[in-house]
Chains A and B, each alone.
Chain A
């Protein structure tokens, strides 16, 4: 193998793992602060560090670190009668798929180094989208195994709710993107993004997935939100009163479940940006600079174009994380029968109808 590409891949792996774990930790801060600002509060801001006699609070950013220290120092409790191996395995089954999915996410346009084109994506899989679904779907096992291995009937009930909900929405999730696959004709995430930078729709709209698949976007958004197991769809966990599959977990094992949930939210935001909002495509920006619909154009060098595109991707991810958090802090939880009815009776038929409709338009 080409040593430059190998080195580039290793650097990318290190960078992405570093970034995603830190961003996952940062999400605790985002969650606390955003919910506080939405509710006219100040939010967590008391954790401080003393440097040269000055107390530095850093807007509450240090709370993530204190949380980590707390969770590591807490007693790592395992209930009597719990299956030791499976009990310890479940948190990793939650985190590892979440981290593996990141491997196929293109986070920027390809760059040229040493005369080689290096894609900003760890693994450029042709079946990238399918890989995401396959691996993210494996995350269900953590809930089922964790709930069962806890030797606690409430955890087991939570695990049943989790598996029921996740399987129901997995079906709708899979159907909701078939239309998109038909429109773009590829499952490779980088090629999906390339296609969204092509010819303008009706002469002025950037050809993003949402304009081809508005219904598909809503279905994907809803089903994927349910897959992250966060509020409106937090029936498996139900932290406020009914207790869920992770009730017996304490310390860092619980923290790993939480971290996996936050990373899933990040990935969801990135996937929405990639599939429906053009990934790193900046509207009306081509390789040579801006070409506006009216015919006006601004020539830009390669570096500003690259930076604009990276910025566009970061902005889209941040915007969707904001939206997901806003929804999480706006809506109350669905009742369990409502969750099931929404998944099976509304999302699935709509997704199938969307698929058929798209197939019709693609053929015609």
Chain B
């Protein structure tokens, strides 16, 4: 009597009882009973019918996909990356941007909250006196060492001014690992333009794709 049986019994009970309010309902797990393996039947021992079954599955995929390719549709579930961009959730975290004030200067007040929150310690800020007395400081330099960033989004959460954001853009490959995101680069992001670019992507994310039917 292995522990497999115990788990099995628990698993079956899981659905019947109402789960505690704080606990999410557990899926109906089935465990392989490794100590009492199932006896193979006669046809399974013959092995050939099982091979034919396996070939029917893989061959079925082959012919279904080939039928799609031949009729001009896509017979694969993978994305051809540089040409086909995989739609991502609007909540996904990618390239960093610095939000701007109406005059185009950064919204950032160089409070160092993001740098403090960053677990990868990849944000480096040099603060300077802002000419406007209503604003205390502004970042003279704002560098993100993107090769260290882990895209956790904690800088976003820490920021009191909503100055730093992570966009959904994940095309971050560079030819030079010494490259960092400096202030000028982070400020090039245009919210209106990005929103316009993002709309079709978001729409395609919300709807299942045509070839995934």
Contact = CB atoms under 8 A, between A and B. Distances in A.
B49 interface: no
Contacts of B62: 34, 37-38, 326
B51 A37 contact: no
B152 interface: no
A218 interface: yes
A330 B61 contact: no
A40 B80 CA distance: 13
A329 interface: yes
Interface string B169-204: 000000000000000000000000000000000000
A42 interface: yes
Contacts of A323: 55
Contact of B75 (A34, A40, A45, A218): A40
A327 B56 CA distance: 10
B114 to A, nearest CB: 39
Contacts of A329: 58
B117 to A, nearest CB: 40
B55 A42 contact: no
Contacts of A36: 76
B173 to A, nearest CB: 16
B145 to A, nearest CB: 31
A323 B80 CA distance: 28
B59 to A, nearest CB: 6
Interface string A63-79: 00000000000000000
Interface in A16-42: 34, 36-42
Contacts of B59: 38, 326
Interface of A: 34, 36-42, 45, 218, 323, 326-327, 329-331
Which 4 pairs show the lowest CB-CB distances between chains A and B?
Answer: A330-B58, A42-B76, A38-B62, A40-B77
27 contacts: A36-B76, A37-B61, A37-B62, A37-B65, A37-B69, A38-B61, A38-B62, A39-B61, A40-B61, A40-B65, A40-B77, A40-B78, A41-B76, A41-B77, A41-B78, A42-B76, A42-B80, A45-B80, A323-B55, A326-B62, A327-B51, A330-B51, A330-B54, A330-B57, A330-B58, A331-B51, A331-B54
